[in-house]
Structures are given as C-alpha cells and as structure tokens.
Structure 1
Amino acid sequence: MLLNRTIRWQGIGDTGTLEHCHVIANGRDTRIRGTIITPSYGLFYRLKLDDDGHVRTVKIERTDGKVLELFSDGAGGWSDDRAEPLAYLRGCIDIDLWPTPLTNSLPIWRTGWSDGQPQRFAMAWIDGDAMSVQRQEQIYTRIDATRFRYQGPDNFERVLEVDPDGIVTTYPGLFQQVG
C-alpha cells in the first residue's frame, strides 16, 4: 500500500471530537500520527505498521500526562513499555483505539475480502478515556467496495462507509470525515 494523506473527522452528537490524522505508507511500513480533541482531554497517537500491515508500535499520550505504549512482534505477541508480556492480547494483530475511526481501517487494509464473507478479528481495544487496553473480538463483513458491516461486543453494529483507500468516511452516529 502506498499512501500519503491527511484525514479529518468530526465526532457526531455526544462524541464531540475533532481529529486530524496523517498516514504515510511507503511499501516498507506505514506510519500514522493523529491528534484528537475530546470534550475532556486532548490525545496524540502514533502507530507503526510493518510491511504486512501488522501493528508493531503504539504510543498514546494525553494532554493530562497519561501515556500508554505498546509493542507487538507482528505475530500477535504484545508487551508494554517495561517489556512485560501482555498474555491477554496474544493473537491480536490490530488495535482499535477509542475515540478514532482510523483504526477501523487497519483490518480492512491488510485483509483479502470477498463480499458477504464475515471475518473475525481479535483486537487490542484501547480506551483513550481510561487509558486501558483489553482484548476484544470484532467481526467485519465487506458488503461492497465502499461499505463494511462492523460488529462488536454487546450486539453493537454499524455499516461503515470507506473511500477507495479503505479509510472510514462515515461511522454512523459517531464520526464523519470532514477533510
């Protein structure tokens, strides 16, 4: 994947966020940097993916000084910033960071898709509000070239709209791309 793009999203309704993100994919790796303004805090994030689209490093910093840093071997093994293994994340290749729709693009980018065929992913789900991480099972189903059905815990479901680069443009009820 080759990409050098800036994206912006506006949170819808109670989400109340504004995000600015830049993605650079050069065929060797992908580097993503983003800033999110929420009603309660600001959040900076940096992600590095390897050439297969597997998350390798995650760094999240909030304006209140809280920091979360994670490292992956690209094969589902994770550790924290003290090199302590995080066994509960074993098998997770992607992350899903709240509050950004950008990380919903990670499994879309690295997976071969057929319309109507659901694919299950073990995600390292990061809650930016609590600055915590947990394992979460998610299902994505490609409906067509511009829409994916996302299914998460507690029967949460949305049809995400994506652009030709696989970047979420519309996440109904939560986020809308604005630039």
Structure 2
Amino acid sequence: MSLDRTIRWRGLDPVTLEHCHVISTPRDTRIRGTVITPGYGLFYRIKLDDTERVRTVRVERTDGRVLELFSDGAGNWSDDRAEPLPALRHCLDIDLWPTPLTNSLPLWRCQWVIDQPQRFAMAWIDGDEMTVRRDEQIYTQIDATHFRFQNADGFDRLLEVDADRLVVDYPGLFERAG
C-alpha cells in the first residue's frame, strides 16, 4: 500500500472532530490523529509494519493519561513497562474509540472476497476510559465501497469506504468532514 493522505471525520454521537494523517510506504505505515471530544482531546499514533500489522500504538489525552502498547506483529502484546498482555494474544489489529480510522486496519491487511465474512480478534482501546480489552469482530465486503461490520455484542453497521478503504460514512457514529 502506498498512501499519503489527510482525512477528517465528524463524530455524530457524541459530537467530535478528528484530523488524521496516514503515510504508508513499502517499509511501514505511520498514522497520527487528533480527536476533540466534549470531555477531552486525544492524540494517537499507530505504526504498522510492512505487512500492515500493528506494531506500536500510543494514545495520549489532554488530561495527561497515556496508554502505550507494543506488538510483535504475531499477536503478542505488551504494555509500556514490557509487561505481557495475555488477554490480547492473537490480536493483530486495534480498534480505537473514538475514531473510524482503525476500521481500515483489517481492510488494508487482508484479501477480500465479496460476501465472505472474516473474523478478527481486536485489541479494543476505549479512549474514554483509557483501557484495552479483546473484542471479536467480523467484516464482510459487500461491494467495492461497502463493508458490513459486526461485533460479538450484536452491533452491526454497513460502512461506506473510499478507494483507499478509509471510512466515508459510519451510520450513526461518523461521517467524513470536508
């Protein structure tokens, strides 16, 4: 993947504004974003390796709270003190709330066949609470610009994406801004 783009999203519930930049080369992908929520500001950095697997993620809030995670790219995670996080074993991607950017991670990494669901174990990061937990998710490509997103809690949305597989519309939660 080769990409050098700035994207902005507007969160609908709660109302947020996000500015994100993605730079991808044959060597790695680096993502930096800022989200302004009603209660805090959040800055995130994500680094993917050359196979589009998450290697590092840092989430920092304006109140000083920080969450930093490291992966070996094979689904083994540790925190910023090098303590293993066994609950995240086999998670290759992250899903960070409150941004739709991380929905692109499994879309970039995998080969897709129309109407063939793929299941993912995600390291789900809650920016409100600054916690991380495992979350099982399913993505199904519907056509060139739509993916169905489902999680184990019964949440289900039809995401619209652009040619770079970045979210354009996430019904009820996010829409592209400008």
Please state which band the TM-score falls in when normalised by the shorter chain. Answer: over 0.9
What's 1:3 paired with?
Answer: 3
Superimposed CA distance per residue, residues 3-34 of structure 1 (whole angstroms, 9 cap, x where no aligned partner): 0000000011x321000000000111000000
Give the percent of matched residue pairs that are identical in Structure 1 and Structure 2. Answer: 72
For the pair 1:129 / 2:101, whether they are aligned, the reply is no
- In the alignment, the residues of structure 2 paired with residue 150 and residue 92 of structure 1 have an alpha-carbon distance, to the nearest angstrom, of 17
The letter of the residue matching 2:174 is F
Q: How many residues align?
A: 178
What's 1:173 paired with?
Answer: 172
- In the alignment, the residues of structure 2 paired with residue 151 and residue 167 of structure 1 have an alpha-carbon distance, to the nearest angstrom, of 17
Superimposed CA distance per residue, residues 55-92 of structure 1 (whole angstroms, 9 cap, x where no aligned partner): 00000000000000000000000000000000000000
What's 2:103 paired with?
Answer: 104
What's 1:116 paired with?
Answer: 115
For the pair 1:38 / 2:37, whether they are aligned, the reply is yes
What's 1:64 paired with?
Answer: 63
The letter of the residue matching 2:88 is L
Structure 1 runs (4+) greater than 6 angstroms displaced: none
Quote how far apart the aligned CAs of 1:154 are.
1.7
- In the alignment, the residues of structure 2 paired with residue 10 and residue 157 of structure 1 have an alpha-carbon distance, to the nearest angstrom, of 20
Quote how far apart the aligned CAs of 1:153 are.
2.9
Q: Secondary structure at the match of 1:169?
A: strand
What's 1:80 paired with?
Answer: 79
- In the alignment, the residues of structure 2 paired with residue 41 and residue 169 of structure 1 have an alpha-carbon distance, to the nearest angstrom, of 24
Q: Secondary structure at the match of 1:17?
A: strand
What's 1:93 paired with?
Answer: 92
- In the alignment, the residues of structure 2 paired with residue 27 and residue 101 of structure 1 have an alpha-carbon distance, to the nearest angstrom, of 24
The letter of the residue matching 2:114 is D
Long gaps (5+) in structure 2: none
- In the alignment, the residues of structure 1 paired with residue 26 and residue 176 of structure 2 have an alpha-carbon distance, to the nearest angstrom, of 25
- In the alignment, the residues of structure 1 paired with residue 80 and residue 10 of structure 2 have an alpha-carbon distance, to the nearest angstrom, of 31
TM-score (normalizing by structure 2): 0.99
TM-score (normalizing by structure 1): 0.99
